[in-house]
Structure 1
Amino acid sequence: MKKVTHIVEELVTPIVTHMGLELVDIEYVKEGKNWFLRVFIDSPTGIDIDQCGVVSEQLSEKLDEIDPIPHNYFLEVSSPGAERPLKKARDFERAVGKNVYVKTYEPIDGQKEFEGLLTAFDGQTVTVEVKVKTKKKTITIPYEKVASARLAVIFS
């Protein structure tokens, strides 16, 4: 049996593609007593609430047709926000030149968390320029060691 997120991806991809949008991520999680199906969409120019509404309505119709979820859940369609997750290689490629927050599976130079400017991504390594006190330091992280990453909003 396919996972709910895979089924939803198959249903929502044609909808967002037709609208000129990008599917960023899908989450299916239980929080407290409630289940949530969250679909994150975006475009190079951003998205608005009307686009989220259209995707939500069309996806809801498709989900009602095949009914892949056996219990009640809340469907949420939204932008990934300013601190969008970086999950795929193309996300890292687009984020070069932007501030990021990266967690690793194991320590690199004694640390597992890095925040700074993503200066390069070559498919094998993620290069982040971090500030250590008043100096800048370049950290090269093997891509397979990245546990999670997201864009970072840094206030200065």
Structure 2
Amino acid sequence: MKRAPEHLVNLIEPIVEGLGYECVGIEYHPQPKHGLLRIYIDSANGILVDDCSKVSHQISGVLDVEDPIQGNYQLEVSSPGADRPFFYAHQFEQFIGSAVLVNLYQSIAGRKKITGVIDKVVDDIITLREVGQVFEVPFVAMSKARLVPDYLIEKGGRNGK
């Protein structure tokens, strides 16, 4: 989860929400020559290319005026997709019973990656159930977390057993 700095989140989220979309999260990957600012949007009706274009146009205008990022960067607006990333602990709650792939900053029970089903979320602790094991993972220990579409588990992909 390469989340964007708070000043970018505070600038972008209200614009996305003002256009009627959910701002799932914002990634920022600064690079000396070609940085990347990626904004994930969603809505109850799903996301089409036109939605991404509409949000991109609005965000571009504000970023040009406010100029919060030094140097060159690429702006991407995208739906979260089937392998939706998680940016906040509360986002796990709506996917209880679904599988996630979690990368950790430091190992928990000898593991730096866990693919498991979300059992519950209490405060910022996400309980994951993997075949024969239960992991209580603090959200702050996660470097990256993504939903694992059911078909990947069924077919044995991404650590599916």
TM-score after normalising by structure 1: 0.80
**Would the alpha carbon gap of residues 102 and 110 (structure 1) be closer, same or farther in structure 2, given more than 3 Å must change?**
same
RMSD of the TM alignment (CA)? 2.3
**Counterparts in 2 of 1:57-136, with a 5 A limit?**
57-131=57-131, 136=132
DSSP-derived class of the 2:101 partner: strand
DSSP-derived class of the 2:10 partner: helix
What residue ranges of structure 1 are gaps of 5+ in the alignment?
none
CA deviation map 1:68-103 (0-9, x unaligned): 334232211111222222221211112211110112
Aligned residues: 149
What residue ranges of structure 2 are gaps of 5+ in the alignment?
155-161
Residue 12 of structure 2 is aligned to residue 16 of structure 1? no
Conservation of the 8 A alpha-carbon contact between 2:52 and 2:78: yes
**Would the alpha carbon gap of residues 142 and 67 (structure 1) be closer, same or farther in structure 2, given more than 3 Å must change?**
closer
**Whole-Å separation in 1 of the counterparts to 2:99 and 2:44:** 17
**Whole-Å separation in 2 of the counterparts to 1:138 and 1:73:** 41
> Displacement, 1:64?
1.7
**Whole-Å separation in 2 of the counterparts to 1:27 and 1:52:** 15
Conservation of the 8 A alpha-carbon contact between 2:34 and 2:73: yes
CA deviation map 1:87-140 (0-9, x unaligned): 212111122111101123333222221102111111242211112xxxx33222
**Would the alpha carbon gap of residues 147 and 14 (structure 1) be closer, same or farther in structure 2, given more than 3 Å must change?**
closer
**Whole-Å separation in 2 of the counterparts to 1:147 and 1:110:** 16
- 131, 142, 148: which one aligns with 2:144: 148
The residue identity in structure 1 corresponding to 2:38 is R
| 2:158 corresponds to | none
**Whole-Å separation in 2 of the counterparts to 1:13 and 1:81:** 19
Conservation of the 8 A alpha-carbon contact between 2:118 and 2:126: yes
Larger radius of gyration: 1
DSSP-derived class of the 1:84 partner: coil
TM-score after normalising by structure 2: 0.78
| 1:53 corresponds to | 53
- 132, 135, 140: which one aligns with 1:139: 135
**Would the alpha carbon gap of residues 138 and 72 (structure 1) be closer, same or farther in structure 2, given more than 3 Å must change?**
closer
**Whole-Å separation in 1 of the counterparts to 2:65 and 2:33:** 25
